[in-house]
Amino acid sequence: MKIPDPNTVYPLANYKNLCFLKNYINNPNIVVGDYTYYDDFEDVGNFEKNVKYHFDFVGDKLIIGKFCMIASDATFIMNGGNHLTEATSAYPFAIFGGAWQDAMKDKSYPTKGDTVIGNDVWIGHGATLMPGVKIGDGAIIATKTVVTKDVEPYTIVGGNPAKEIKKRFSEDIISKLLELQWWDWDIEKITQNVHKLTSGPETLF
């Protein structure tokens, strides 16, 4: 049987509400790995609309690994939405120019760096990720969760702000999975092992 092609925009026949995301990205500051998909109730073109405050002049990136699952209305808040919090006023005077154009001279807006999503990460419907968070491989972000801090690998989080619900596996199994990095196998090997990948992780060791 034919192995799914990661360069196919719409991998499901006659269904255009799910795409292999890397083929739908135009912004060079959004990097997406093979087989990561985005499912949208209305239009997969909404994905980049849901990457908010992602201004070229800031230069931060949204980096998403391979084999991720991203549900409709997932939102990524980028560093362009940050304001001064240590100053008397958080108002962005300088962006309006004129007599205010030098308000940020010798100053800079806060940044938390790139937002990085690992591999095999499931991001649930309506989840929001704040600037600069790092989501570990195999993590699950529950529906409507607001992620304000890094999430450890193979950890399920939920709530606002996100809190750990549980680890998916024991620390020993997690360590072995992180060492295994199955998502970096060639696709033929992955295909040969799909029954193991859809069973308990012990079958891989």
Catalytic one among 54, 83, 125, 195?
83
Catalytic residue at 54?
no
DSSP 8-state symbol, 58:
T
What lies within 8 Å, CB to CB, of 185 at 6+ separation is 193
* Interior/surface letters 37-69, b for 16+ CB within 10 angstroms, e for the rest: bbbbeeebeebbebbeebeeebebbbbbbbbbb
Which positions ≥6 away from 148 have C-beta within 8 Å? 130, 133, 161, 162
The token pair at 46 is: 């909404």
- Which residues are catalytic, by number? 83
